[in-house]
Amino acid sequence: MQFASLFAALWGTFGVVSLLGYSVYRLSQVAVTFIDYPATIWHWAALIVWIIFMAYTEGYKGFQLAFAPRAAARLHWLSQNPKPMLTLLAPLFAMGLIYANHKRLFISYLIIIMVVCFVAIAETLLAPWRAIVDAGVVVGLLWGAIATLLSAIKVLILAADRVDPELPNRAL
C-alpha cells in the first residue's frame, strides 16, 4: 500500500474514532456525577432503561449496523483512490460529510443538526436527569467508536465485504 493510501485509511479511522472517543470522555465526566445524587429507585430504573435503549438504538443499530460499515467502505474507497483534498479531510469523508451522494449528504447533515438540538436540550436538564441522559449517550458513542475501529480493521486489513460507500455518481 502506498503512503497516500495508508495515510488516508489511518487518518480517517483515527479521526473518526478520536472524535467519538473525545465525546465519550467529555460526556462521561457528567455521567459519573449520577453517583453524587441521592437517586431513587425510579432514577436507577430510568438509568438502566436509558442505557439499554441507547446501546441498542445508537450503538448497535446506528453505529454498528449503519455508520461504521459505511465509514469503513468509504475509507476503503479512499485508500484505493487517494485524492489529496479528500485524504486531508479523511475523517469528514468517512463520516459522509463531503464527497457523497445527495441522499447521504442530506442524512449526514440532518443527523448533525439533530445532535446539536439534542445536546442543547440535554444541557437544560436538571440533575440527575442530565447524568442519566449522558450515561446512555456515552454507552452508544463508546459502542460506536469500537464498532468503527473494528469495521475499519475488518474492511481495510482483512478485506471483508463492504457496504455501499454512497459516493457521488461521478465517482463510480
Structure confidence by residue, pLDDT tens digits, 98-145: 999 999 999 999 999 999 999 999 999 999 999 999 999 999 999 999
* Cβ-Cβ contacts under 8 Å for 145 (sequence gap 6 or more): 17, 20, 21, 24
pLDDT of residue 170: 74
Query: Are 128 and 18 spatial neighbours (Cβ–Cβ below 8 Å)?
Result: no
Query: Are 118 and 54 spatial neighbours (Cβ–Cβ below 8 Å)?
Result: no
Q: Which of 129, 119, 139, 130 is nearest to 55 (CA)?
A: 139
User: Taking 60 as the threshold, does the pLDDT of residue 172 lie above it?
Assistant: no
User: Taking 90 as the threshold, does the pLDDT of residue 63 lie above it?
Assistant: yes
pLDDT of residue 93: 98
Which band of pLDDT confidence, cut at 50, 70 and 90, is reported for residue 160? confident
pLDDT of residue 171: 62
pTM: 0.94
Q: Identify the domain containing residue 7 by its residue range.
A: 3-171
C-alpha span between 172 and 119 (Å, rounded): 36
Does a cis peptide bond (omega within 30 degrees of 0) precede residue 128?
yes
User: Taking 70 as the threshold, does the pLDDT of residue 41 lie above it?
Assistant: yes
Q: For residue 120, give the C-alpha cell.
A: 442543547
User: Taking 80 as the threshold, does the pLDDT of residue 44 lie above it?
Assistant: yes
C-alpha span between 56 and 39 (Å, rounded): 24
C-alpha span between 78 and 95 (Å, rounded): 12
C-alpha span between 164 and 142 (Å, rounded): 24
Q: Into how many domains does the chain fold?
A: 1
pLDDT of residue 31: 98
C-alpha span between 154 and 85 (Å, rounded): 25
